[in-house]
Structure 1
Amino acid sequence: MTQITLETDRLILRQPDLSDFEPLCELMADEETARFIGGVQEPALVWRGLCGIVGHWALRGYGFFSVFEKSSGGWVGRVGPWFPHGWPQPEIGWSLNRSTWRKGYATEAAAACMNHAFDTLGWPDVIHLIDADNLPSQGVARKLGSRDLGTDVEVAGFGMIVDVWGQSADEWRVARKSLG
């Protein structure tokens, strides 16, 4: 499989590998960070999750990217296209270390992934599954030009009810112009 890397002004997004295990364990051990993505996980479950992400890449040809800050080389989080079994349709999701919140990294990385999903993968539209109480992620979705589609779904395997946010490829082509 060809390795895919995306680059933004401040970030590098690459396919995940074994070196991402420890920083992903840190992300998933932080109660506030993990609150809306299934809760805190012990390393054994994080390992299974990382293997699932790598497997998603192998089976679908895309998946969450590991995101790195160019200036420091530090691991920021995971962002990307995602369509596991039981999802209503493909999504662009994001989970970033709390230490990197409010720097615009989620919007920047998600925008690069939106471009990839629409321009390379050919998706006609995209969703983001966001908990009704997750105001920061709703803010990221709004900055991307997405809106609450008025639908609630249960996240398969997690038992969580979330709001479905999203937009079409045509809407994105207009919205991305305002992101610069």
Structure 2
Amino acid sequence: MTIPDIQLETPRLILRPPRMEDFDAWAEFMNAGDYLRYIGGPQPRPLAWRGLMSVIGSWAALGYGFFSIIEKDSGRWIGRLGPWQPDGWPGTEVGWGVIESVGGKGYASEGAAAAMDWAVEHLGWTEIIHTIDAGNLPSKRVAAKLGSRYLRQGRLPVPFDEKEVEVWGQSAEEWRARRKAGAAA
């Protein structure tokens, strides 16, 4: 199995499958920041390594997974986002997470819009969801900016099943209509 040679570009970002060279930035992202309370808490480097390998493995086995987000101006790794559906997940998700220093710049919605286009057009997804902790107001704002709305309560699979999450989302038809109208991100 090989990882697809995919690169998406937005005005300010490059989205590509993660590489080993991303590990130091990935590990730092997964171990420091207030946002971690919404995604399971800080992870030491060995656990972050497993997470990165899981995403790389998803790309190799399924042909999709989180993209690494590269800021065009600086060339630095600033987060991960994209299509994600591990076993037992409550649906076909496009998720996001950016380092705190770039929060509030619109990178999450800009990148997620490109990933949603790709998931609908290349993966054939008919629904896109976002699983969001009830207290994660910044992610709810990103979801709303993308045109998604609260759909239902849900649970993630073990080991993240200890509490409910909000499932936000929209159909592929709704997404296409928003994009055609020029209203998303």
Q: TM-score range by the shorter chain?
A: over 0.9
Identify the residue that residue 108 of structure 1 maps to in structure 2. 110
- Show the 5 A alignment for 1:28-107: 28-107=30-109
Q: Tell me by how many angstroms 1:68 deviates.
A: 0.6
Ranges in structure 1 where 5+ consecutive residues have no aligned partner: none
Q: Distance in 2 between matches of 1:154 and 1:120?
A: 25
Q: Distance in 2 between matches of 1:126 and 1:51?
A: 24
Number of residue pairs matched? Answer: 180
Q: Give the aligned CA root-mean-square deviation in angstroms.
A: 1.2
Matched, 1:178 2:183: yes
Query: Percent identity over the alignment?
Result: 52
1:65-112 residue CA offsets vs partner (Å, 9 max, x unmatched)? 000110111111000000101102110000110001000000000000
Identify the residue that residue 163 of structure 2 maps to in structure 1. 160
Q: Tell me by how many angstroms 1:155 deviates.
A: 4.3
Ranges in structure 2 where 5+ consecutive residues have no aligned partner: none
Identify the residue that residue 120 of structure 1 maps to in structure 2. 122
Structure 2 counterpart SS, 1:156: coil
Identify the residue that residue 151 of structure 1 maps to in structure 2. 153
Q: Distance in 2 between matches of 1:105 and 1:54?
A: 22
Kindly indicate whether the alpha-carbon contact (under 8 Å) linking 1:86 and 1:155 is maintained by their aligned counterparts in 2. Answer: yes
Please, what TM-score do these two structures have when normalized by structure 1?
0.96
1:31-67 residue CA offsets vs partner (Å, 9 max, x unmatched)? 4131111110000000000010011111111000000
